[in-house]
Chain A
Amino acid sequence: MDYIVKGFKDALNLLVSFDKEVFSIVSLSLFVSITATIIGSLISVPLSVYFGIKEFRWKKLFSRITYTMMSIPTVVIGLVVVIILARKGPFGRFDLLYTRKAMIIAQVLLVSPYVFGLTYGLAKSRGEIIEKIGLALGANRLEIIVLIIRELKVDILVNVATSFSRAISEVGAVMIVGGNIKHHTRVITTTISMMNSMGDYPMAIALGIILILISFVIHSIIYSYSEEK
């Protein structure tokens, strides 16, 4: 029991003293996951709205595949990215493996199906009435997509925040493609995993607390914004 209490005390010391290593790991985590979430959302949100309101053959099958993509294990995404970026792979010449860019690519692949799936469901259920209004007032296809995104922006932001939480808290993909290299590709989750193997709990607990705090702050901001609207 003592080592748990000591672990928490040391963790708080690390946080209160603004430990350089802790905060460099946290900033890299935030940088990678925020960048990946922004890129993934910019691609996925308009596409998901487009497919959500469009009627086409095989839409039911398309929906099932979309929702299946949301549950792809992160290690599988990591593996796919490694295969593509490995020296012998199709993008090997760019020398991206074990870099921050590789981690961002992996997280974009992780976040995109999530944002897509959640927003696709939203557009399917609530987009039709907005589409009808847009059509009735003379909007074209692009203007209707923009209108739906604007109308559902609070719900879409919640989806994006949920996807960001998934990105920042995953360990499989970033570990495989980043390699957990100190001061280079080490992020919160890979550090927690490593510290756990080494039995160094204070750092792991400190980072765990930060991870929960980040999630709490982001969801609190989104929640207050949605309450306002």
Chain B
Amino acid sequence: MNIEIRNVEKYYGDNQVLDIDYLNIEKEKITGITGPNGCGKTTLLNIIGGLDKEFLGEVFYDNNKFSKKVKQAMTIVFQKPYLLKRTVYENIEYPLKLRNMNKKESKAKVLDVMKKLEITDLMDKRGNKLSGGESQKVALARALVFNPKLLLLDEPTSNIDPEYIVTMENAITQFNLKNKGTIIIVTHNIQQSERLCHAVINMNRGKIQT
């Protein structure tokens, strides 16, 4: 999914937090957004993800405006993920249930993504009882399971042990290669953006740095 942002501005009261004249995010690529705290990275991600609708300007998804169809084809993984108060398996299965997938097919998909992210041992644990790092892994699995055309990741490895980051990055890269999904990843980690991303956007004070 190609993303085009035109004249997007966002204000909190009189304070302008985002001011982007034009930005094109190429389809089927991994694009990193970096920048200091409070520069508007998460705000931009929420706008693209359709969670923040109170802004000026326009965002186009494959030349279409935000719609139910677009919403169904994308997802966002938050920096502090919220897992539902049910088992890890049921958490990952939830987006498939929303898309009316049959039990057999959804079971195969859930087990496959759990295997890829090495979280099969967490299957029967309750989502709200996991550690921060475990929650991030499960949240990523829940996002990947339905093969979204657009995957938005907000600091997806911020609570992850260094040795496990490689597994998560591999899962993200494989998802991009295999499913041709567009990925936008907000990260503070420059090395990570260099390892993962085809393009990197640097932001400062709500603007894109060229």
11 new A-B pairs (CB below 8 Å) besides A135-B51, A137-B142? A132-B51, A133-B82, A137-B75, A137-B94, A138-B71, A138-B72, A138-B99, A143-B98, A147-B84, A150-B85, A151-B85
**Bound-complex Cα distance A138 to B82 (A):** 15
- The CA of A61 and the CA of B76, in the complex, are separated in Å by 33
* Docked complex: B32-78 residues within 8 A CB-CB of A: 49-51, 68, 71-72, 75-78
Size class of the A contact interface (CB-based, 8 Å): 10 to 19
Majority SS of interface residues in chain A? helix
What is the bound-complex CA distance between A7 and B146, given in angstroms? 68
The answer for the CA separation of A132 and B46 in the assembled complex, in Å, is 10
In the complex the two chains form, is A151's CB within 8 Å of B84's CB? Answer: yes
Q: How far is the CA of A138 from the CA of B49 in the complex (A)?
A: 11
B132 proximal to A (CB < 8 A): no
Q: Which residue of B lies closest to A136 (CB)?
A: B76
The answer to whether A129 touches B82 (Cβ under 8 A) is yes
Q: With A132-B51, A229-B85 known to touch, is A138 a contact of B78 (CB < 8 Å)?
A: no
**A-side interface residues toward B, CB under 8 Å?**
129-130, 132-133, 135-140, 143, 147, 150-151, 229
Q: Contacts of A147 on B, CB cut-off 8 Å?
A: 84
Tell me which of A133, A135, A143 has the highest count of chain B C-beta atoms within 10 A of its own C-beta. A133
> Distance in Å from the Cβ of A142 to the closest Cβ of chain B?
11
- Residue-wise, chain B 93-120 has the 8 Å CB interface mask toward A (1 for contact) of 0110011000000000000000000000
Question: Which residues does chain A contribute within 8 Å of B76, judged by CB atoms?
Answer: 136
List 27 interface pairs A-B (beta carbons < 8 Å), by A numbering.
Answer: A130-B82, A132-B78, A132-B82, A133-B78, A133-B84, A135-B51, A135-B71, A136-B49, A136-B51, A136-B76, A136-B77, A137-B94, A137-B98, A137-B142, A138-B71, A138-B72, A138-B75, A138-B95, A138-B98, A138-B146, A140-B68, A143-B98, A147-B84, A150-B85, A151-B84, A151-B85, A229-B85
B51 touches A139 (CB 8 A): no
| A143 and B84 alpha carbons, distance in the complex (Å) | 14
Inter-subunit contact B98/A136 (CB<8 Å)? no
Smallest CB–CB gap between A195 and chain B, Å?
Answer: 46
B77 partner residues in chain A, CB cutoff 8 A:
136
Nearest chain B CB to A177 CB, angstrom units: 40
Residue of B68, B75, B84 near A136 (CB, 8 A) is: B75
